[in-house]
Structure formats: structure tokens, C-alpha cells
């Protein structure tokens, strides 16, 4: 594990070093759990009280917060402690799990698959016919990639994830564990005898851009026809559902347990809060935000923030919530 001096760290952060510490710093830790070889963070005044008794040898502090350095315990003042924290985490980022061999002998790889340079393919992976992996793709053990799917350079796929046939995945993506890409969309028609339902074939695929991250146990269904599309730079949390024929622009964020019903369109930079759901065939325009827990039943304008179930303009919803509390107390 890496170890740094306080000077090394401030060299990266370019903050104001107050006091000094001769401790070697082995990693970040919360103020109350820290040992003397840890650096910590004070991004809000509510953490100030823990500094005096903390064993941390250093703290990174927002420059609008007053904290003193102590004997052999230093302060680095920065404009944005959150951003500084991210940079410190990059310093201490540990190497990922090792691969003893680039392509594990238990992986089953179809002879027609094209595997780029520097790929690592773990134990018990399955790679189907005509799959194409770019360079430096990492598949951890127990990943399945089905026929004709292509994956771009430097994409990492964690164990248990399944990518079905004919999907197109960009470069520098990360798919976490047990993700499901390209399963059939949910579509049925009444059977001809009127008793029950007949499956509508889902003959489309999934197209995922570059630098997309998809959280554990999330699902992106293939399109009925054409494609379900996730734009460059989208970040999707755990247990998220993206139904068939939805189209996401670039740099959208979807938090845990949120979902897009079929044929939803998101513009660029849309933020969907945790557990929020979007009705099918709805459009959320660029820069809009959907609050946590919302149920969106209508289109949302660019830049608008909606909230509630059913979702409406967030300020209106907050007013409703206040009004209801007042009325119930009368």
C-alpha cells in the first residue's frame, strides 16, 4: 500500500499547509476511527468537534472552516474539501484483484471471438461466437458475453454480469457485479384466442456509449426493435431498471432503485434520484432533475426540477407537503 508525506499530498492538492507532521500517511480515515498514520477530512463545521481528539495526523479542511493545527498534526486548507478528498483517494487507490494469467484456461471462448491486446479474462467466463473485445478489456471470473457483442477498449466487467447477444458496448465502461445487459424487453400482446398473452419478440439490442458505469444488479433491456441506448458518460447506480427502447443522453445520473419504463427519453445531464420511476413514453429534457422517490407521469422540461408522486414542479410539491401537514393539524 502506498505511503506519502504531508508534503507529497499537498503537492497534489496545492492547498495551504498549516503546521506539519512527520508521520508517514498510509490512507484516509474518518476522524473518529483514524490512527496516527491517517489523513482525514473536514468539509463541514459539524465535524470540527472531532478534530481535537482524533488521532489523525492531518486533516484536509475547507478554507471557510476554522481548525487549528496541533503538535505534529497538520492542516491543509483547500477551496473544496470534497474535490480534494477525491484526489487523495486517487493517490491511495489500491490495485484491483490480480489475474495470474491473462486468459484463464477455464474460460470458454468461441474460436471466432476476437480478443484485443492486453485483455484479461477470468476463470469460468463464457464468450460467444463473433464477440469482439477491444484492447485492455477486463472480464472478472464468471462473466458471460454472448454472440456478436462488441466491447470497447479498457472496459471492465465484474463477475456475474451477463451481456447478451448483438449489444455494442463502448470503451472505458465499468459494469459492476451481477449486471444484466440485453435481456428481453417486457412486451406481450393478447393471444389470438383472447386467453392469455403472447410474447412479442425483442429483436433489438443495447448500445452503450463510452465511460458509462452501471451498478450492481442493474438491468438494461434490449429493444423490441432498434436499440436501447445509454449515452457517453452516464452513471447508473445499483438495482436500476432501464426498460426496452429507452434512450439516455450523455452524462445522466440514475441513483439506486430508480427506473425507466419502456421508451423513455432522457436528454443530456438528467439526474434521476433514488427510487424514482419514469412512466413509459415520457421525455425528461436536458438538465432536468427528478427528486428521490418521485413518480413521473408527464414530460419534464429542460432544467426543471420535479418531485413527488405524481411528480410536479418541486416548489409546488414542497408547498403541497407543507399545506397537507398544516391541514391535518387543524
Residue list 139-158, contact with its own copies (CB under 8 A): 140-142, 144, 146-147, 158
Exposed/middle/buried for residue 329 (C-beta within 10 Å: 0-12, 13-18, 19+): exposed
Nearer of residues 136 and 184 to its own copies, judged by Cβ = 184
Q: Residue 96 Cβ, how far from its own copies at the closest point, in Å?
A: 7
Query: Does 194 sit near its own copies (CB under 8 A)?
Result: no
Name every residue whose Cβ is closer than 8 Å to that of residue 126 and which is 6 or more positions away in sequence. Answer: 107, 108, 109, 143, 144, 145
Give dist(CA 261, CA 135) in Å, integer.
34
Helix, strand, coil shares, percent, the chain, to 5: 15, 30, 55
> 174: closest CA among 230, 124, 247, 92?
230
Single residue of 26, 136, 184, 304 touching its own copies by CB under 8 A: 184
Interface characters, 104-123, with its own copies (x: CB under 8 A) = x-x-x-x-----------xx
Q: How far is the CB of 72 from its own copies (least distance, A)?
A: 22
Indicate the residue among 68 and 316 with the shorter CB distance to its own copies. 316
Among positions 296-325, residues that touch its own copies (CB under 8 A) are 308-310, 312, 316, 319-321, 323-325
Does the footprint of its own copies cover residue 129 (CB under 8 A)? yes
Q: Which stretch binds its own copies (CB under 8 A): 4-12, 60-68, 256-264, 282-290?
A: 256-264
Binding part of the chain for its own copies, among 14-22, 54-62, 65-73, 175-183 by CB under 8 A, reads 175-183
Q: Which of 22, 71, 193, 327 binds its own copies (CB under 8 A)?
A: 327
Give the CA radius of gyration of the chain: 24
Residue closer to its own copies by CB (options 122, 170) is 122
> Of 144, 153, 159, 146, whose CA–CA distance to 99 is shortest?
159
Residue of the chain from 183, 283, 304, 314 that contacts its own copies (CB under 8 A): 183
User: What are the grid coordinates assigned to 87, written together?
Assistant: 484526489
Residue count, binding to its own copies (CB under 8 A): 109
Note if 244 is an active site residue.
yes
| Given 38, 176, 244, 285, the catalytic residue | 244
Best CA proximity match to 225, nearest among 198, 193, 187: 187
CB count within 10 Å of CB 197 equals 10
Our finding on whether 62 is near its own copies (CB under 8 A) is: no
Phi, psi dihedrals of residue 231, rounded to the nearest 5°:
-75, 170
**Residue 224 binds to its own copies (criterion: CB under 8 A):** yes
SS3 92: helix
Q: Which residues are catalytic?
A: 244
Amino acid at each position: 500500500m502506498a505511503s506519502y508525506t504531508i508534503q507529497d499530498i499537498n503537492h497534489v492538492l496545492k492547498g495551504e499547509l498549516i503546521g506539519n507532521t512527520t508521520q508517514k500517511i498510509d490512507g484516509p480515515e474518518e476522524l473518529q476511527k483514524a490512527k496516527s498514520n491517517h489523513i482525514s477530512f473536514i468539509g463541514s463545521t459539524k465535524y470540527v468537534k472531532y478534530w481535537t481528539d482524533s488521532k489523525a495526523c492531518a486533516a484536509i479542511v475547507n478554507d471557510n472552516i476554522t481548525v487549528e493545527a496541533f503538535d505534529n498534526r497538520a492542516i491543509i486548507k483547500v477551496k473544496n474539501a470534497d474535490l480534494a478528498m477525491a484526489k487523495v483517494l486517487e493517490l491511495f487507490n489500491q490495485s484491483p484483484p490480480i489475474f495470474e494469467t491473462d486468459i484463464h484456461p477455464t474460460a470458454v471462448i468461441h474460436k471466432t471471438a476476437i480478443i484485443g491486446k492486453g485483455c484479461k479474462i477470468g476463470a469460468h467466463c463464457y464468450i460467444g461466437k463473433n464477440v469482439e473485445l477491444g484492447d485492455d478489456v477486463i472480464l472478472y471470473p464468471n462473466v458471460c458475453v454472448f454472440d456478436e457483442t462488441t466491447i470497447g477498449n479498457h472496459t471492465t466487467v465484474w463477475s456475474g454480469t451477463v451481456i447478451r447477444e448483438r449489444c455494442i458496448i463502448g470503451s472505458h465502461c465499468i459494469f459492476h457485479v451481477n449486471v444484466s445487459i440485453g435481456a428481453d424487453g417486457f412486451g406481450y400482446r393478447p393471444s389470438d384466442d383472447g386467453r392469455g398473452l403472447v410474447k412479442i419478440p425483442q429483436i433489438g439490442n443495447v448500445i452503450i456509449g463510452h465511460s458509462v458505469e452501471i451498478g450492481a444488479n442493474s438491468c438494461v433491456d434490449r429493444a423490441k426493435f432498434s436499440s436501447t441506448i445509454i449515452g457517453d458518460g452516464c452513471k447508473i447506480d445499483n438495482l436500476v431498471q432501464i426498460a426496452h427502447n429507452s434512450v439516455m443522453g450523455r452524462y445522466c445520473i440514475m441513483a439506486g432503485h430508480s427506473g425507466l419504463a419502456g421508451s423513455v427519453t432522457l436528454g443530456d445531464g438528467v439526474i434521476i434520484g433514488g427510487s424514482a420511476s419514469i412512466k413509459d413514453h415520457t421525455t425528461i429534457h436536458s438538465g432536468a432533475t427528478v427528486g428521490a422517490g418521485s413518480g413521473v407521469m408527464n414530460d419534464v422540461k429542460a432544467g426543471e426540477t420535479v418531485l413527488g408522486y405524481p411528480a410536479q414542479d418541486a416548489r409546488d410539491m414542497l408547498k403541497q407537503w407543507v399545506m397537507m401537514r398544516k391541514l391535518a393539524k387543524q
